[in-house]
Amino acid sequence: MRTMLHSKIHRARVTRCDLDYEGSITIDRDLLQAADILPFEQVQVLNLNNGARFATYVIEGEAGSGEIGLNGAAARCACKGDIVIILTYDQVAEADLAGHMPKLVYVNEQNRITSVKQAIGAIFF
């Protein structure tokens, strides 16, 4: 088994940081559906502004809100307006690697979806 990228929300902007909320990240439901991410699923968050990388779990936000809200301890890892990449991973059997295609969700400055693509993992074979 290999740990492979399952999905990515690319260059989303943090809209809110709430230190007093339980730890997690709140993500607009539309973004979750496009990236095939479930509520309470573990995600890795990469902050392009300060280099922080951390794992947390997802809380579903209101559809169409554009929300990317960092809660609890995660709120210390970014500031409102920071640009983040949100990743999920799969365990993929060696025999299935050639057909593995992660979902890539691209957003604009308001965290609205501009495109959804599937990366072709077979380029290495």
7 is an active site residue: no
Catalytic residue, chosen from 7, 21, 24, 106, is 24
**Residues 68, 45 contacting (CB under 8 angstroms):** no
- CA quadruple 50, 55, 56, 61: dihedral, nearest 10: 60
65 as an active site residue: the answer is no
Catalytic member of 7, 21, 57, 89 = 57
Bridge partners, residue 59, by sequence: 26
- Contact by Cβ (8 Å): 72, 27: no
Task: Report, as residue numbers or ranges, the catalytic residues.
Answer: 24, 57
